[in-house]
Structure formats: C-alpha cells, structure tokens
Chain A
Amino acid sequence: MIVAEQKPVAEILRMIDGYRRILVVGCGTCVTVCMAGGEKEAGILASLIRMAWAREGRLSPLIDVSEATVERQCEWEFLGDIAEKVAASDAVLSMGCGAGVQAMARMFEGKVVLPALNTKFIGMPERQGLWTELCAGCGDCVLDRTGGICPIARCSKSLLNGPCGGSQNGKCEVSKDIDCAWQLIFDRMKSLGRLEALGTVLPPKDWFKNRDGGPRKVVREDMLL
C-alpha cells in the first residue's frame, strides 16, 4: 500500500491561511490503513484547525471547517459524493496520497486542493505503528531473481549484484538500523536452495522503464472501453 504521514500542523495552517471555508477530505484506502489520512485523522485535523483558528480569534459565521471521507480519492466515481461539499468550500485539504490530491484537483476544476500529507512510499506495516518501504515502483521488477526481496527499494545504493563494501554484519553502512538488502537476499536464496542463481550477473537495469518519458502509464487494451 501507499504509506504517507501528516505534514506538521503548523505547515498545514500556513497553507490554508487566507481561506475561510475548508473541507478536510480523508481517504478510506491506503492512508486509512497507515493511520495518516482516514476518517479518524480527518476528524482530528478538522478539530485542530477549528481550535487553532478559535484561539487566533478568527472564528466568525463565515468560517467553516468540516470534514468528509471518501472510499478512494484516486478514483472519479468516489469523488462525486462530496461534490456539493467541495463546491461550498474555498479550499479542499486532501488527506489522500499524492494521487488523491491530484485526482481531486482534476475533478474539481477551479478549486484549490491542498495536500495535508507527505506521501512517502509503497510499503507495508511491519508492526502496529511502523511502516517500511518495500517497493520503489521502478517499472521493471527483479524480485524473481532476488528471492522476493527488492534491492532497488531496500539497498541504499539500489545495487543489482551483491552488497557493497559497506555491508557489515548484515547491516547497511547508512545506519545500523537498516538491514543490508543483499544480506537478506543471500540468506533467503540460501534457504531456498537457490544460491547458485546469484552467480548470474544481472545486466544494468533498464531505467527507461522508470522515469523516462514523463509520467508512466499502464494500458490494458482488453480493458479499454
């Protein structure tokens, strides 16, 4: 899933300064699971904004900070539900990931849509309250050759053919809290009895499948209408 975290409240308050009617929009998918921008968090942020503004003496009948949550901000069909509320606001504060913010900005033309979150990465919850990056969305998956552990996302240097000289006791030289991805790959391939596969040198990665040619698209001809 996509993992995000909320921006500091002070930054959000600066961002919405000058607007009077704010709609805080939560998203019911990834950011709900990573506890950054779901219904609960939208309620909390809206409450904080109201109290911050009340403290500044800014509350007036013209001020309106309310919240709404959609199932998925990154799909048009879910955004129609909040169209009326959006229309009644001066600015929309999105608690979705970067895709959610942009989907709303496109859907609600002429409306200011602001991000309340910093979108971090594709990953998973390691345990309650801790999320780790697992996939860099590089566009050319090598997991078949690396025992299901991604060297692009999890090796600090994104190396393709074994660890660098900084790997010490299974840890990365960047930090003792980071596992060396290549140590993990080696251990996993060993347990799979596939160590010999690591003898095959991986060719330089085809980065044209990553950031080349602007925003990437995925097309399924059979699904197009």
Chain B
Amino acid sequence: MPKIVAFACEHSAYEAAAAAAALGQKTGETMPMEATVPGENPGFQVGRVGGVEIVKVPCTGRVEVIDILKALEGGADGVIVLGCFEEACHYLTGNVRAKKRVGYVRRLIRDIGIEEDRIQFFHLAPDMDARFSRIIEEFSRQVENMGPGPATGITVTGIGTGAREQGLATGEQAQAARAR
C-alpha cells in the first residue's frame, strides 16, 4: 500500500475516520485507529487509521503549503486534505482556503514534474465513514498507479506535524540521513 498522509479536520473528517475505524469498514479487514500523539505543530495530532497516517488538525485552514510539501518530501506517496463541506466550516472559511491552497500546491508540484493528483482535497461530514473509506481506497489506488512519490531521502518524523519546526529539514540533514 502506498504511503498516504491525510490532514483531517477534527470537526468532520477526523470523526469520519474514527467512525470508519470503529466499524472496520475497509474491505475485508479492519481499520484500527491508533491513539494520536501531539505533533510539533501546535494543534496537530498524529495517528494512524489502517495504513494511513492521519494528522488531526483543528481546521484544514491550519494546513500550510509547507506542511503538504514536507509530507511528500518526507516519504508520502500522496497527501489528502480532508475538510468540512463548504458552509459547514467551524471557522467559517478555513476549508475554502485550504482547498485553494491545495490547488496552489498542486500547481507547484506540477511545475517540477510531479503528478499533481498526488495531492487532493475532499469534503467530508463527521458521519461519512463510508465515504472516508472509499476516498482512502480510491486515492491509494490512484497513487499506487503513479509509482513512488518524490521523497528525497530526508528523514522527517511525524510527517505533517513538525513541518515548520522540525521538518525544515536542511540539506545537511539530508546528507546525514543518506550517510547513515
């Protein structure tokens, strides 16, 4: 299974992920949910549902361009941002901004020759556990067909969580990682 990082709004998509995990709706197997741990980005929590790394965020509007890039650079083959439906954002327009930002990052990676569909945005409501599972399945398949992601061999722990603090992986870190 390709490595997927999902930034999920705690007001909607994260609830859907938790419900999906509870119901074990992934085809033929369960989607166990691991307890989340605080990320280094304030307000971010990292956990896993099935094989997907879930970064619980207070609002998708909190997800920055660099967070998405760091997830890719750190080894993700695909990144999805899962936010509330329009008009349903807890902070009014965070999801709309996140969607625009995802569009911007898609253009950025396309400019450097990386498939833009490695980054996608989806709307979810808290009770949409089935849709969550379907999104993960379909996205995983799409990403798998694209082959390995654009990872640079730079070790970034807690993908998405420490993008600005610890994830500002420098070339020196990259060198150190490669030397190991």
Contact B112 A66 (CB under 8 A): no
Segment of B8-16, B24-32, B67-75 in the binding face = B67-75
Given contacts A9-B112, A61-B175, contact A55 B65 (CB under 8 A): no
Contact A51 B111 (CB under 8 A): no
Contact B171 A21 (CB under 8 A): yes
User: Across the A-B interface, how many residue pairs have beta carbons closer than 8 Å?
Assistant: 73
Question: Binary interface profile of A, 45-80, with partner B (CB < 8 Å = 1, else 0)?
Answer: 011101111110001010111110000000000000
A8, A46, A50, A59 — most chain B CB neighbours (10 Å): A50
Judge if A141 is at the interface, Cβ distance under 8 Å: no
Contact B171 A48 (CB under 8 A): no
Q: What is the CB-to-nearest-CB distance from A10 to chain B, in angstroms, rounded to a whole number?
A: 6
How many angstroms from the CA of A21 to the CA of B154 in the assembled complex? 16
Given contacts A47-B69, A67-B168, contact A55 B174 (CB under 8 A): no
Q: What is the CB-to-nearest-CB distance from B102 to chain A, in angstroms, rounded to a whole number?
A: 14
By secondary structure, the B interface counts as helix
Contact A50 B174 (CB under 8 A): yes
Pick the contact of B64: A40, A63, A65 (CB < 8 A): A40
Judge if A170 is at the interface, Cβ distance under 8 Å: no
Contact A55 B73 (CB under 8 A): no
Q: How large is the interface on B (under 10, 10 to 19, 20 to 34, 35 or more residues)?
A: 20 to 34
How many angstroms from the CA of A195 to the CA of B135 in the assembled complex? 64
Given contacts A50-B152, A55-B150, A59-B152, contact A40 B65 (CB under 8 A): yes
Q: Can you report 16 A-B residue pairs in the complex whose CB atoms are below 8 A from each other?
A: A21-B171, A22-B171, A40-B65, A44-B65, A44-B108, A47-B69, A48-B69, A48-B108, A48-B109, A48-B111, A50-B171, A54-B151, A55-B113, A55-B114, A61-B179, A64-B175
Chain A residues near B (Cβ < 8 Å):
8-10, 13, 21-22, 40, 43-44, 46-48, 50-55, 59, 61, 63-67
Chain B residues near A (Cβ < 8 Å):
64-66, 69-70, 72-73, 108-109, 111-114, 150-154, 164, 168, 170-172, 174-175, 178-179
